[in-house]
């Protein structure tokens, strides 16, 4: 074995994709220093996308002071490509679940306003394109807050302006975009997505993701009605039917306003990352790919990072080993997308806290064992 590509996603709440790749590489090289290890940390458009892109594209961090999903001030950043006029923004960092304690999550009050603040700053810097990574949102406001930060005005039946959130979209009777930043219309918007859920319906934003964002069953019904109400307003004003667009339900419906007003384009997050990492080129000389994520489950085989890696490797005839904290997906499902075998890195019963603490060492040990097995 001469060459191994190490292309993992992050292990959420434990290690970034870059740290995971470093740990796996250390385990491989502990067995044989002569193996070429190509580290390509990945993401699928959700949490960790900026980390992955920062290792693939020469770029600069642009600091920004924005509001989080619940309207509290927070220091943040986005990336500005050094040789291109492209800004890269991650929703998970601007209005993400990770910034809010589980007992404080409230999609009725949450807003995507902070994402719009970052977009406004990027536009003022004169970028030609904004790449928006959608996953990990704590919001369910259909992107109305984002658009408000860019200059949109919403008014109720009495003509009073509304500060929008997921819980009050039904109060909006008119949308005024006359004060939108004029540069927005000239800016290409690319949306990196890791799901295919529509905007509303049983598979839509509210019913699929509302509970993990803190919504009760009753609130999910309210959020669903609110999104449908807002979608009707968008369709009437901009002539863009949104009900059947795959992926429009990502990030609490953020794609909806950007598709309706900016002709934003949805694309697979993992495909975008793999293209920029020149993954297909590296596969030509690779003997093995090692990938991984915190938990391998049924979602892993449907548009997520692991499935994107495995499918490309399978086309190239390169075997794939996956490592994870836990593996709950049926092995046959993994084989079908190109994953040869999957291993849990935990070798004894552990609390979640201990598993997070020991992730790096467990990755090194498992990668070393896998490498010894393959070389024997």
- Cite the DSSP H helix spans in 139-276: 144-149, 205-209, 217-238, 254-262, 269-276
Separation between Cα atoms, residue 189 and residue 130, nearest integer Å: 5
Residue that terminates a domain, selected from 227, 250, 270: 270
What pLDDT shows up at residue 80? 96
Q: pLDDT tens string for the chain (376 positions)?
A: 789 999 999 988 789 999 999 999 999 999 999 999 999 999 988 888 999 998 888 999 999 999 999 999 999 999 999 877 999 999 999 999 988 999 999 999 999 999 999 999 999 999 999 999 998 999 999 999 999 999 999 999 999 999 999 999 999 999 999 999 899 999 999 999 988 999 999 999 999 999 999 999 999 999 999 999 999 999 999 998 898 899 999 999 999 999 999 999 999 999 999 999 999 999 999 999 999 999 888 777 776 789 999 999 999 999 999 999 988 888 888 999 999 999 999 988 777 787 788 899 999 999 999 999 998 8
Together in a domain, 251 and 201: yes
- Domain with 121, as residue range(s), is 49-270
What pLDDT shows up at residue 303? 66
Name the domain count of the chain. Answer: 2
Together in a domain, 345 and 225: no
Q: How many CB atoms lie within 10 A of CB 34?
A: 8
Q: Is 77 exposed, middle or buried (0-12, 13-18, 19+ CB in 10 A)?
A: middle
- Cite the DSSP H helix spans in the chain: 17-31, 49-54, 91-94, 113-124, 144-149, 205-209, 217-238, 254-262, 269-276, 279-283, 305-316, 331-337, 352-357, 359-375
Together in a domain, 57 and 35: no
Together in a domain, 87 and 147: yes
Together in a domain, 35 and 180: no
Together in a domain, 117 and 217: yes
**Residue that the structure tokens 């990502």 belong to:** 250
What residues contact 87, with CB distance under 8 A and at least 6 apart? 62, 78, 79, 80, 81, 119, 122, 125, 127, 129, 130, 131
What pLDDT shows up at residue 302? 73
- CATH number, domain containing residue 136: 3.90.1510.10
Cβ proximity of 334 and 292 under 8 Å: no
Separation between Cα atoms, residue 330 and residue 165, nearest integer Å: 39
Residue that terminates a domain, selected from 206, 240, 270: 270
Residue 116's alpha-carbon distances to 27, 250, 268, 364, in angstroms, are: 42, 16, 22, 40
Tokens standing for 218? 């009753």
Residue that terminates a domain, selected from 270, 300, 319: 270
Nearest to 84 by CA among 122, 120, 45, 58: 58
Together in a domain, 265 and 284: no
Separation between Cα atoms, residue 10 and residue 18, nearest integer Å: 8
Q: Report the number of secondary-structure helices (H) and strands (E) in the chain.
A: 14, 13
Together in a domain, 320 and 180: no
Is 203 in a helix, a strand, or coil?
coil
Together in a domain, 64 and 209: yes
Together in a domain, 216 and 356: no
Together in a domain, 266 and 287: no
pLDDT digits (tens, 9 = 90+) for 226-235: 999 999 999 9
Together in a domain, 31 and 156: no
């Amino acid at each position: 074995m001469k060459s191994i590509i190490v292309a993992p996603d992050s292990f959420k709440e434990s290690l970034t994709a870059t740290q995971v790749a470093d740990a796996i590489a250390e385990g491989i090289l502990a067995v044989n220093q002569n193996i070429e290890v190509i580290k390509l940390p990945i993401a699928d458009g959700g949490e960790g996308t900026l980390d992955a892109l920062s290792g693939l594209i020469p770029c600069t961090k642009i600091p920004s002071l924005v509001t989080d999903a619940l309207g509290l001030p927070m220091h943040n950043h986005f990336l500005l490509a050094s040789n291109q006029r492209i800004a890269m923004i991650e929703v998970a960092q601007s209005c993400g679940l990770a910034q809010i304690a589980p007992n404080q999550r409230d999609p009725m009050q949450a807003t995507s306003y902070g994402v719009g603040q970052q977009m406004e700053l990027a536009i003022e810097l004169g970028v030609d394109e904004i790449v928006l990574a959608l996953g990990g949102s704590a919001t369910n406001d259909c992107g109305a807050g984002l658009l408000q930060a860019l200059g949109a005005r919403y008014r109720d039946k009495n003509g009073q302006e509304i500060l929008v959130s997921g819980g009050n979209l039904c109060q909006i009777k008119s949308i005024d975009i006359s004060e939108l930043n004029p540069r927005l219309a000239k800016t290409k918007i690319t949306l990196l997505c890791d799901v295919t859920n529509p905007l509303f319906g049983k598979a839509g934003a509210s019913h699929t993701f509302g509970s993990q964002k803190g919504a009760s069953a009753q609130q999910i019904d309210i959020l669903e009605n609110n999104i449908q109400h807002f979608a009707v307003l968008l369709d009437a004003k901009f002539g863009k039917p949104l009900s059947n667009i795959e992926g429009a339900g990502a990030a609490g419906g953020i794609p909806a306003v950007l598709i309706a007003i900016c002709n934003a384009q949805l694309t697979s997050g993992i495909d975008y990352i793999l293209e920029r990492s020149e993954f297909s080129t590296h596969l030509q000389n690779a003997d093995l790919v090692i990938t991984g994520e915190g938990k391998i489950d049924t979602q892993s085989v449907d548009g997520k990072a692991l499935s994107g890696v495995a499918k490309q490797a399978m086309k190239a005839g390169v075997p794939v080993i996956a490592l994870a904290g836990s593996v709950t997906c049926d092995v046959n499902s993994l084989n079908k997308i190109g994953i040869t075998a999957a291993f849990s890195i935990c070798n004894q019963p552990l609390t979640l806290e201990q598993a997070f603490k020991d992730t790096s060492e467990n990755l090194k040990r498992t990668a070393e064992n896998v490498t010894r097995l393959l070389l024997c």
